[in-house]
A and B are shown apart, each in its own frame.
Chain A
Amino acid sequence: DSGVTQTPKHLITATGQRVTLRCSPRSGDLSVYWYQQSLDQGLQFLIQYYNGEERAKGNILERFSAQQFPDLHSELNLSSLELGDSALYFCASSWTGASNQPQHFGDGTRLSIL
Chain B
Amino acid sequence: DQQVKQNSPSLSVQEGRISILNCDYTNSMFDYFLWYKKYPAEGPTFLISISSIKDKNEDGRFTVFLNKSAKHLSLHIVPSQPGDSAVYFCAASVTGANSKLTFGKGITLSVRP
How many pairs of A and B residues are in contact by the CB < 8 Å rule? Answer: 72
A55 in contact with B98 given A43-B89, A100-B32, A102-B34 (CB within 8 Å): yes
- Are A99 and B93 in touch, CB under 8 angstroms? yes
The answer to whether B97 touches A105, judged by C-beta atoms less than 8 angstroms apart, is: no
Q: What bracket does the count of chain B residues touching chain A fall in?
A: 20 to 34
B94 interface contact, C-beta 8 A: yes
Query: How many A residues, CB 8 Å from partner?
Result: 31
Q: Which of B36, B43, B46, B102 is most buried by chain A, counting CB atoms within 10 A of its CB?
A: B43
Is A20 on the interface with B (CB-CB < 8 A)? no
Docked pose: A66 CA to B30 CA in angstroms: 27
- Assuming the A-B contacts A100-B32, A102-B34, are A45 and B43 also in contact, with contact meaning beta carbons closer than 8 angstroms in the complex? no
Partner of A99 from B41, B44, B95 at Cβ < 8 Å: B95
Given A43-B44, A105-B45, do A99 and B99 touch, yes or no (CB 8 Å)? yes
Q: Is the CB of B98 within 8 A of A43?
A: no
Say whether, besides A105-B43, A105-B44, A42 and B105 are in contact (CB < 8 Å).
yes
Q: A90-B43, A99-B93 are in contact. Are A48 and B100 (CB under 8 A)?
A: yes
Q: A87-114 toward B: CB 8 Å interface, digit per residue (1/0)?
A: 0001010100111111111111000000
Task: Assess whether A99 is in contact with B43, with CB atoms less than 8 Å apart.
Answer: no
Residue ID in chain A nearest B38 by CB atoms: A105
Contacts from A to B (Cβ < 8 Å): 2, 4, 6, 31, 33, 35, 40-45, 48, 55-56, 58, 90, 92, 94, 97-108
Q: Which residues of B contact A (CB under 8 A)?
A: 4, 32, 34, 36, 41-46, 49, 51, 89, 91, 93-106
